[in-house]
Amino acid sequence: MSFFTMAKTLIKSIFHGPYTVQYPLEKKGPFPASRGRIEIKIEDCIFCGLCARRCPTGAINVDKTESRWSINRLRCIQCSYCSEVCPKKCLKMDSTYTAPSFENVEDEYKNARVPDNKENNRNIAGAC
Amino acid sequence: MMGKKTVIPFGPQHPVLPEPIHLDLVLEDETVVEAIPSIGYIHRGLEKLVEKKDYQQYTYVAERICGICSFMHGMGYCMSIESIMGVQVPERAEFLRTIWAELSRIHSHMLWLGLLADALGFESLFMHSWRLREQILDIFEETTGGRVIFSVCDIGGVRKDIGSEMLKKIGSILDGFEKEYSEITKVFLNDSSVILRTQGLGVLSKQAAFELGAVGPMARASGIDIDMRKSGYAAYGKLKIDPILETAGDCYARTSVRIREVFQSIDLIRQCIALIPEGDIKVKVVGNPNGEYFTRLEQPRGEVLYYVKANGTKFLDRIRVRTPTFANIPALLETLKGCQLADVPVLILTIDPCISCTER
């Protein structure tokens, strides 16, 4: 049994300065491989619905007749299974996280190649 | 002289408990004579969910059984399905699984050491334990993309590879980690304030540990040589594992076992980095499983048992998980008998309780 065993670590810590990231001044970015949120390149999507069928939480909805692809961000568990099964590789896992949101809405994307939907080619739910 | 018996409810909400478990402590003066547990506060019905999710989607559910040993839950489930389907996992994938499993063990034990320090009221030691743990979490995020839930283990192998440069980086991070960690272990093993609170407390004899079915560090601290890693699953068959045993069976012995296991894990990861072969990381799995299988593997808290029964469709019939905390609760109740009320928090922590595992 001994005393002051912590002294060495404590003295080192005093001269080391903070071990934590000084958040507002210094930001720690995500690693390139971090799983943040699913992004879709809607122009390449063929609306096969494979991602929706494989999604473990049923967060993705695909409507082939209306060329619409939507995702419920709050249901998504960022497993990136959809991006693996996507035959056109239009789904990608982005390393930045989805910002907190107040509403449980679906992010909806429509394909611009379909003439009727040209005006709707935007993220209807807004940037959340 | 017999004192008057008092029942004190302990939990489900208590500063020392990260998760809810309730114990009715029957006290005579300040001494616990009996403890009656009740669990079921965070039952989520994950075993039932197997009827709704197909066997490939269930990998992600299995991972979410626990937030600390998430990788090993996914691995246990995948190993069961692979055994039923007769899938041979590539060797590189088995080594990668071993590396992540051992990193999980380090991170789990560091978390536990921090919680122990916190339960003892040793705040700065708690902070330093968790500071070191952060390095391991960063390795996870860099290699798998997630800090807690990795989603890398899949049926037939793993979904992400670790490049040779990253393996070297892991080695160098672990070198620095080991140096700082060995300084902290001196505090846990030698400091008077830790020793006075842990030595001779909650002694579990070898016989009692065996009869009550204790697993993991709890059993090893009582001198029972039980470690599922020696059965040689994943890449453990190709690595050299020395059993870590203590004989005292008290809280100090259990702390010591976990501290030495971190060094053992670092050694195992180094062996993996040296031995890892080149090659594929995944084989394609087609068809549906049909049959049943038991898998046993060693988690940070002890042995976990996976029972999977499949019926030839994409939905499984049954999955059953016997988690290490569940197996250790009878041993905990035994150690609580005769202890002082003030020692109860430390004794509960000493089994490294993971209630979300236990209740699934």
pLDDT band at B358 (very low <50, low <70, confident <90, very high): confident
Structure tokens at B335: 């150690």
User: How would you classify residue A4: left for phi > 0, otherwise alpha for psi between -120 and 50, otherwise beta?
Assistant: left
Q: Which CATH class is domain B40-359?
A: mainly alpha
Classify residue A61 by its DSSP letter. Answer: E
User: Can you give the pLDDT at residue B237?
Assistant: 87
Residue (of A98, A120, A93, A97) closest to A109 by Cα position: A120
> Token pair for residue A115?
């003439």
Give the Cβ contact number of residue B310 at 10 Å: 23
Res. B230 pLDDT band, cuts 50 70 90: confident
A66-75, A102-111, B52-61, B273-282, range with the lowest pLDDT? A102-111
B156, B285 in Cβ contact below 8 A?
A: yes
- Average confidence (pLDDT) over B300-324: 89
End-to-end CA distance of chain B: 44
Mutation site, A31, A60, A94, interface B, largest B CB count within 10 A:
A31
pLDDT computed for residue B253 by the predictor: 92
- Residue that the structure tokens 């949120």 belong to: A37
Identify whether the C-beta of residue B100 lies closer than 8 Å to the C-beta of residue B151: no
Round to whole Å and give the CA distance between A16 and A8: 12
Inter-residue contact A72 to A30 (CB < 8 Å) = no
Residues of A with CB under 8 A from a CB of B: 1-3, 5-6, 8-10, 13, 19, 30-31, 33-35, 54, 56, 77-81, 84, 93
pLDDT at A126 over 80: no
pLDDT level of residue B1 (50, 70, 90 thresholds): low
Chain B residues with CB under 8 Å of A54 CB are: 56-57
Q: Is the bond preceding residue B12 a cis peptide, omega within 30 degrees?
A: yes
Phi, psi values for residue B191, rounded to 5°: -65, 140
C-alpha distances out from residue B76 to B81, B161, B166, B213, Å: 9, 19, 25, 21
Gyration radius of chain B over CA positions: 21
At A124, is the pLDDT very low, low, confident or very high (cuts 50, 70, 90)?
Answer: very low
The residue among B79 and A101 whose pLDDT is bigger is B79
| Mean pLDDT calculated for residue range B212-225 | 90
**CB A56 to CB B124 under 8 A?**
no
Residue A70's DSSP bridge partners are A61, A108
CB pairs under 8 A between A and B: 65
Helix A7-16 × helix B164-190 angle, to 10°: 130
The reply to whether ipTM tops 0.95 is: no
Give the pLDDT mean for B4-8.
87
Q: How confident is the model at residue A114 (pLDDT cuts 50, 70, 90)?
A: low
Q: Among B128, B138, B145, whose Cβ lies nearest the Cβ of A35?
A: B145
The mean of the pLDDT values for chain B is: 88
pLDDT band at B48 (very low <50, low <70, confident <90, very high): confident
Question: Which tokens go with A20?
Answer: 């934590």
User: Is B145 within 8 Å of A93 when comparing Cβ atoms?
Assistant: yes
DSSP result, B190-208:
HBHHHHHHHTTSS---HHH
Q: How far does the CA of residue A31 sit from the closest CA of chain B (Å)? A: 6
Instruction: Indicate yes or no: CB of B145 within 8 angstroms of CB of A33.
Output: yes
Sorted by where each begins, the domain ranges of chain B are 40-359
Flag whether pLDDT at B348 surpasses 60.
yes
> Do B162 and B99 form a contact (C-beta atoms < 8 A)?
yes
Please enumerate in sequence order all residues whose Cβ is within 8 A of that of A44, keeping only pairs 6 or more positions apart, or say none: A88, A89, A90
Tell me the whole-structure pTM to 2 decimals. 0.87
3-state secondary structure of B7: strand
Q: Which two tokens stand for residue B146?
A: 């997630």
Cα(first)–Cα(last) distance of chain A, in Å? 56
Whether residue A1 and residue B187 make contact (CB cut-off 8 A), yes or no, is no
Q: Look up tokens 């839930």; give the residue.
A: B149
Which burial class, exposed, middle or buried, applies to B179 when counting CB atoms under 10 A from its CB (0-12, 13-18, 19+)? exposed
**Which tops the pLDDT comparison, B17 or A124?**
B17
Both tokens of B255, joined, read 């702390």
Tell which of B148, B151, B185 to mutate to test the A interface (max A CBs under 10 Å): B151
Measured between CA atoms, the residue of chain A closest to residue B123 is A6
- Residue A37 predicted with pLDDT over 60: yes
- Contact call for residues B77 and B62 (beta carbons, < 8 A): yes
pLDDT in the model for residue A127: 41
CA distance A65 to chain B (A): 27
Tell me which residue of B348, B344, B331, B350 sits closest to B31, measured CA to CA.
B344
**3-state DSSP: chain B helix, strand, coil percent, rounded to 5?**
50, 15, 35
Inter-chain CB proximity A33 and B128 less than 8 Å:
no
Residue B259 in this model has a pLDDT that exceeds 90: yes
A125: pLDDT strictly greater than 60 = no
Question: Are A79 and B151 in contact (CB < 8 Å)?
Answer: yes
